[in-house]
Amino acid sequence: MTSLTHIATPDGLAPGVNYSHVVWGTGRFIAISGQCALDEKGNVVGQGDPVAQARQIFENLRRCLEAAGATFDDVVKLTVFVTDIAHLPAVRAARDEHLDTVRLPASSAVQVSALFRPELLMEIEAFAVVADR
């Protein structure tokens, strides 16, 4: 059961498109390090393919959330780092396969010049809040 409350658009702000402006909850806080398109052996998945990389990243995020006793319903914030802002549609498509598109988390997207390996096109970190047990 999620412990989150969402406010999509506080008074005085333009509507958020593809994100919520404010998300909060009560309970246990979970921080997930930036995930890249690496498989369990550290190999890059989908070299040169933003769709494949985004899907792998969201699968990695799912595994991290599960290990912490959480689900995508508990995510309050995503931060997306892309080497080309043109990769955002691939990120959004993968995100929308995993998250409730009516209750999207707060989000930031940043174009960076490079990631720690040149084959990587994106990295995504997440914060979640789960109800106290």
Domain spans of the chain, in order of start: 4-130
What is the rounded distance in angstroms from the CA atom of residue 102 to the CA atom of residue 31?
23
Which pLDDT score, from 0 to 100, does residue 2 have? 57
pLDDT means over runs of 10, the chain (133 residues): 68 86 86 96 97 98 96 96 98 97 94 97 96 75
The CATH T-level fold of domain 4-130 is 60s Ribosomal Protein L30; Chain: A; (3.30.1330)
Backbone φ, ψ for residue 93 (5° rounding): -65, -45
Which pLDDT score, from 0 to 100, does residue 132 have? 76
Which pLDDT score, from 0 to 100, does residue 25 have? 77
Which pLDDT score, from 0 to 100, does residue 3 have? 66
Specify the pTM.
0.91
In the β-sheet with 122-130, what is the strand arrangement from edge to edge?
28-35, 122-130, 75-82, 106-111
Which pLDDT score, from 0 to 100, does residue 16 have? 83
